Amino acid sequence: MAVAVDRVDMLFNEMILQLRGQLSSFSDAFAIVGAIYTTQKTLNIVCGCYRAISVYGLPKLRRRPDLVSRYGPWALVTGCTDGIGKAYAQELASCGMNIILISRSNDKLIKCAKDLESQFRIQTQVVTADFSQGGAIYAMIEEEIKDKEIGILVNNVGVMYYPECLHEMNLDRIFQLINVNITAATIMSRIVLPQMVERKKGAVVNLTAAASIRPNPQLAVYTATKTYLDFLTQSLQYEYEDKGITVQSLMPCYVATKMTKYGQNVPSPGYFIPSASLYARRALSTLGVSSRTTGYWPHQLQLWIAEMIPDRMWLWGANIVNSAIKRRIVQQKKRGTLASSSS
C-alpha cells in the first residue's frame, strides 16, 4: 500500500523506523550466532578440562597398573641409551617388565642393561642395530627377538637436525631422517604386532612430536617425518583397538635431552621443559588412558595454545625462531673453528 508523504520530517521518521527494524533483525541474527559460538567454545573448554583431568590428573590417584599382566612380560625400547628412551625403559623396568634394548652403541647398551638388571632385578637383552642403515637390519632384529613375548613396543629412536632449508641439507641426512624417523617405527611395529594380535593384548608407543601438528619452516623434513608417524599411529589405533592392542602417539614438546640441544648446552629442566625421567614417568601414566597425547600436562597446555594460532602467523613465528637458532649455531661453529685452528 502506497503512503502519501507531504512533509520531509515524516519521510525521515519513516525511514528511521524501517532502518531500526532491519538493524533489530540483524542484531537478533548476530546474537544467535554469538550464542552458538560462545556455547561451542564453552563446551570445548569444559571437554578439554575433563580430558586433562582424566588423562593427567586421575592416573596419579590410581595405583600403578600391572603392566606385565595387562600387556606381557617383555618391553622393547629403541633408541634407549639416552634421553626419553632410556628414561622410559627405566620406568617400565620399575614396573617389573623385562627390557629388550635396541640402539647402535653396543657399549652404551651393555651399560644400560647392567644398570637395569642391578637396580630393578629384571632380565634384559641387547640388540645392536643402526636404524639409519635401512632395511638390512630388520631380519637380524626379528631373529634376535623371535622367542620373546613382547607386551610393549616403544618406538623412540629418532634424529633431528639444526634448522636448514631443504636445498642446504646433506642428502645423507635426509635419508637418515627417513630411515630412522619413519622406517624404524613402521617396520618394528610390523615385526611385533603379529604376536600381539595372537595374544589379543599389547601396546605400541610411538614417539612423535608436538611439532607434527603444524608445518615448521627450516625443519620441514623433521616435521614431515613426525607427522607421518602421528598419522600412522592414529590409523593403527583404529585398526587394532578391537584386537585388544593399544597404539599411542606420544607427542612431547621440548624435553631436556641431548636431542633438543641447540648449541653447546642441553636445556635446563624446568616446568615447561621437564627432564627425561620426569617426562617418561608422566607419559607412562597415560598409556591405556589416551591414544594421542603429549604425555605431560604443561606440554598439553602449550599444544592447545599452538593449535589456536592462525596458520600464517604460526609459519611466520616459527621461521623467525628457527632463523635465530640457525644464526646462533653458525656463530658457535665459527667460534669453535677459530679455537681449534689456534690450538
Q: Any bridge partners for residue 98, and if so which?
A: 74
Strands 150-155 and 74-78: parallel
**How far is residue 66's CA from residue 122's CA, in Å, rounded to a whole number?**
15
- Given a contact cutoff of 8 angstroms between Cβ atoms, the answer to whether 202 and 72 are in contact is yes
Residue 296: closest CA among 309, 279, 312, 284: 279
- Which residues have a catalytic role annotated? 222
CA distances from 133 to 82, 83, 175 (A): 20, 22, 9
How many angstroms separate the most distant Cα atoms in the chain?
104
Residue 67: closest CA among 87, 86, 92, 85: 92
The phi and psi torsions of 126 (rounded to 5 degrees) equal: -110, 140
